Structure 1
Amino acid sequence: MTKDNLSLIRSGQWMNGFAKEFAVALGICEEQCFKLNSLPPSHSEERNQIIRNIMGNIGEHFTIHSPFHCDFGTNIHIGENFISNFNLTILDEADVTIGNNVFIGPDCRLCTVIHALKATQRNSGVMRARPITIGNDVWIAAGVTVLPGVNIGDGAVIGAGSVVTKDIPPHTLAAGNPCHIIREITDEDKVDIIS
């Protein structure tokens, strides 16, 4: 994809998402995701190399369970000690930035793309994208959908099945559809470990 088209798709402007160049880039990434998802977990070095080829950048230590799917991959930026469970989908038409020590449960979706509401425009490919940012030390539980333009603050926990439509502040527990703040996470939430 040319730098101009990459800038346009990340700009948040309404544009034609059906351009041939986008289709080619989507196809290349889909091939890479297919290769990744076809490999057994025991082929960790080969799997990790494919992940590094797909992503814009990713930390040294990570675990991504298959299946994993994304649109372009190059717009995904992930820090250290990332763990995603089965069936993570990232629609990365805009940047998706994920901090350090982030856990993502199974069946989660991070969606940056917005299609036009008017059917004639949507059917002709009119769309735009807005970035998603997930801070450090975040846990996103099973079955969560994060929508375009959302920022999740450091240390936040998103409850299972939530649809995150608005920013979530740091160090809060949030859940629901739409996701809302339940309470602050404090030192009182520390659990005792059985040795």
Structure 2
Amino acid sequence: MRQTKRYRVNKDNSLWHIYQTVSFWKVVKNVCIIQLGRYMPLLSVKNWLYRTFLRMKVGKTTAFALMVMPDTMFPEQIKVGSNCVIGYNTTILAHEYLIKEYRIGPVVIGDEVMVGANTTVLPGVTIGNGAIISAATLVNKDVPPGVFAGGNPMQIIYTKEELTERQEDDE
């Protein structure tokens, strides 16, 4: 179950009232930093930008590939552990605006997690240490540590034990 906080709205859809939710200038700053980061070839500089200006928690030697899109409204809700790879064109959302409500929830990605290209991580999700997420996955629920998961909707493809056994067979 995703851990999001729900905020009901009256009348117009929730996105119509976006700047009552988050400051316009915060969004402008975040969009500029994120666009710079999306194309930044130096991983250490990209991580510094995200930590310093977006207040994201990013572990050591974590690599955000080209075109990764962190949340523009609430990037401070994103925590990525150490030694992770976040694949090309992945989107990490900490908010979602719906018709009658909006939701905000932290995204926690553990240590040594690999997220494949073109994946979308929804708000309120935790991905456990050592998990592997295949490309083009919609991460719509928590992922246990050490598993291999993928698809839309996301499913566990290999448990931690099955994945360990496969890796031992490869050696």
TM, length-normalised to structure 1:
0.68
Amino acid across the alignment from 1:12: K
Partner of 1:95: 77
**Residue identity in the other structure for 1:32:** I
Higher helix fraction: Structure 1 or Structure 2? 2
Q: Which has the larger radius of gyration?
A: 1
Contact 2:131 2:144 in 1 (8 A): yes
| Greater share of strand | 1
Provide the rounded CA distance (Å) in 2 between the counterparts of 1:80 and 1:20.
32
RMSD: 2.7
- The answer (yes or no) to whether the contact 2:38–2:69 under 8 Å persists in 1 is no
Q: Aligned partners of 2:69, 2:125: CA distance in 1, in Å?
A: 16
Q: List alignment gaps of at least 5 residues for structure 2.
A: 9-16
Please show how residues 5-20 of structure 1 align to structure 2 within 5 Å: 12-14=5-7, 17-19=18-20
**Letter in structure 2 aligned against 1:131:** P
Is residue 78 from structure 1 mapped to residue 58 from structure 2 by the alignment? Answer: yes
Return the alpha-carbon distance in structure 2 between the equivalents of residues 20 and 164 of structure 1: 25
Sequence identity of aligned pairs in percent?
25
Residue 188 (1) aligns with residue 166 (2): yes
Length, aligned pairs only: 154
Given the alignment, which residue of 43, 49, 52 partners 2:48? 52
Displacement after TM superposition at 1:38 (Å): 7.1
Q: Classify 1:27/1:149 alpha carbon distance in 2 versus 1 (closer, same or farther; 3 Å).
A: same
> SS of 2:92's equivalent?
strand
Superposed, which structure 2 residues align to 1:16-35 within 5 Å?
Answer: 17-19=18-20, 22-35=23-36
* Contact 1:17/1:127, CA 8 A, preserved across alignment: no
How much has 1:171 moved relative to structure 2? 0.6
1:167 aligns with 2:142: yes
Partner of 2:86: 104
Describe the SS at the equivalent of 1:181.
strand
2: distance between equivalents of 1:143 and 1:134? 16
Shift of 1:116: 2.5
Q: Report Cα offsets for 1:30-75 as digits up to 9, x if no partner.
A: 2334555677x4xx59x82x7524425xxxxxxxxxxxxxxx722x
* Equivalent residues of 2:47, 2:58 under 8 A apart: no
Counterpart secondary structure, 1:25:
helix
Q: TM-score, normalised by structure 2?
A: 0.76
Structure 1 unaligned spans of 5+: 1-10, 57-71, 119-125
Which of residues 104, 124, 128 in structure 2 aligns to 1:129? 104
Q: Name which of structure 1's ranges 106-115 and 21-30 shifts more when overlaid on structure 2.
A: 21-30
